[in-house]
Amino acid sequence: MEEVQEIQLSITCQEANEGDFHGYASESNQPTSPQSRKLTLWVRIGIYSLFVLSGQAVATLLGRLYYERGGQSKWLATLVQLAGFPILLPYYLFPTKKSKTKTNHNTTTHSTQSKKPSILLVASLYLVLGLIIAANCYLYSVGLMYLPVSTYSIICASQLGFNAFFSFFLNSQKFTPYIINSLVLLTISSVLLVFEPNSEESSKVSKGKYALGFVCTVGGSAGYGLVLSLTQFLMNKILKKEGFSVIVDVLVFESLVATVAILVGLFASSEWATLRKEMNEFDLGKVSYVMTLSWTAIIWQVFSIGLVGLILEVSSLFSNALSVLGLPIVPVLAVFFFHEKMDGIKVMSMVLAIWGFVSYAYQNYLDSHSSKNDNPISNSQSNTSPEKEING
Give tens-digit pLDDT for 347-356: 887 788 788 7
What is the 3-class SS of the chain, one letter each residue? CHHHHHHHHHHHHHHHHHHHHHHHHHHHCCCCCHHHHHHHHHHHHHHHHHHHHHHHHHHHHHHHHHHHCCCCCHHHHHHCCCCCHHHHHHHHHCHHHHHHHCCCCHHHHHHHHCCCCCHHHHHHHHHHHHHHHHHHHHHHHHHHHHCCHHHHHHHHHHHHHHHHHHHHHHCCCCCCHHHHHHHHHHHHHHHHHHHCCCHHHHHCCCHHHHHHHHHHHHHHHHHHHHHHHHHHHHHHHHHCCCCHHHHHHHHHHHHHHHHHHHHHHHHHCCHHHHHHHHHHCCCCCHHHHHHHHHHHHHHHHHHHHHHHHHHHHCCHHHHHHHHHHCCCHHHHHHHHHCCCCCCHHHHHHHHHHHHHHHHHHHHHHHHHHHCHHHCHHHHHHHHCCHHHHHHC
CB contact at 8 A, 49 and 306: yes
Which pLDDT score is estimated for 308? 93
Which pLDDT score is estimated for 389? 35
Q: How far apart are the first and last CA of the chain?
A: 51
pLDDT higher than 50, residue 204:
yes
Which pLDDT score is estimated for 96? 52
Report, as an integer, the average pLDDT of 8-15: 49
Exposure string of 25-40, with b = 16+ CB inside 10 Å and e = fewer, is eeeeeeeeeeeebeee
Q: How many other C-beta atoms lie within 10 A of the C-beta of residue 77?
A: 23
Q: Name the residue with higher pLDDT: 170 or 11.
A: 170
Closest CA to 60 of 158, 175, 143, 162: 143
CB proximity list for 176: less than 8 A, separation 6 or greater = 363
Which pLDDT score is estimated for 108? 42
**Helix orientation angle between 207-233 and 159-170, rounded to the nearest 10 degrees:** 30
Q: What is the pTM of this model?
A: 0.74
- The mean of the pLDDT values for the chain is 77
**Helix orientation angle between 244-268 and 119-146, rounded to the nearest 10 degrees:** 60
**How many CA within 13 A on the CB side of residue 324?**
39
Which pLDDT score is estimated for 253? 95
Which pLDDT score is estimated for 341? 72
Distance CA 174, CA 181 (A): 13
Which pLDDT score is estimated for 215? 92
Which pLDDT score is estimated for 354? 80
Report, as an integer, the average pLDDT of 299-320: 89
CB proximity list for 365: less than 8 A, separation 6 or greater = none
Which pLDDT score is estimated for 365? 67
pLDDT higher than 70, residue 202:
no
Distance CA 55, CA 211 (A): 27
Which pLDDT score is estimated for 107? 40
Share of the chain above pLDDT 90, in %: 30
Among 4-8, 101-105, 382-386, the range of highest mean pLDDT: 4-8
pLDDT tens by residue, 206-257: 888 888 999 999 999 899 889 989 998 888 888 887 788 899 999 999 999 9
Q: How confident is the model at residue 295 (pLDDT cuts 50, 70, 90)?
A: very high
Which pLDDT score is estimated for 100? 44
Share of the chain above pLDDT 70, in %: 75
pLDDT higher than 80, residue 366:
no
